[in-house]
Amino acid sequence: MTLQHWRHLTEWPLTAAAAVFLVAYAWEVIGDLHGSQLAVAETVIWITWAVFLIDYFVCLALAPQRWRWFYTHLFDLAIVVLPMLRPLRLLRLVTILAILQRSAGAAFRGRVIVYVVGAGGLLIFTAALAALDAERGMPGAHIETFPQAVWWAFETISTVGYGDYVPVTEVGKLVAVGLMIGGIATLGIVTATLASWIVERVAQTEIDMRAATRGQIRELSKQISELKALLDEKSA
């Protein structure tokens, strides 16, 4: 079996595993589970972790150039090492909506917009869960409820940072750093997409104006030729 074949076979199962993990993790964190419910959620989380771990090592074993594959797929390693990143596999789902676009240019912009909205929402949700999981119950913690965590995530990803909710744990601060980087990257994608759209519109307008000008020149040349022919007839 080749690496490409394996990735094709496991793409949707891994996406489903990411969705299952996200549900279990959200249930555990938001519900602040204890007892048997906590055991069930933890079991599901560990099973999905095992799925991603197996996938990583199989891909590494099937890669023709293992070292090259290793350092070009550090994100896959991060998904295995950092559980909070596993739901980002769900970003593959939002790109499917791009088929609703009609033209090639609109399809590209549509994919980018859908991806950015999906990525932003998923980043905010997972970061809020991770921050609440790390901060709740800690001495001096400001983030004790899920709504507070979501508000903090919105502040952080937009780089506004009002300072009303601040992480006090090392894990919470690490989540904040990742969220800020993600927010800057998302804003960069939006800016680049908007700039490309403006450039495309300006270029199209210029092309239309040039076409109109050439048409006017041809029409004027035709009228001059007809007028010259008419004058030649009269002078003859």
First to last CA, the chain: 88
pLDDT for 174-210, tens place per residue? 888 888 887 787 777 767 766 776 777 777 777 767 7
> Residue 32's pLDDT is what?
87
- pLDDT of the chain, 236 residues: tens digit per residue: 888 888 888 888 888 888 888 899 899 889 988 899 999 998 998 898 888 889 889 988 999 888 998 888 887 787 777 766 655 555 544 444 443 444 445 555 556 667 777 778 888 888 898 889 889 988 988 899 999 999 999 888 887 777 788 899 888 888 888 888 877 877 777 677 667 767 777 777 777 677 667 767 777 777 777 777 776 666 66
Q: Which residues of 120-153 are buried (b: 16+ CB within 10 A; e: fewer)?
A: bebbbbbbbbbbbbbbbeeeebbbeebebbbbbb
Whole-angstrom Cα distance, residue 79 to residue 87?
Answer: 9
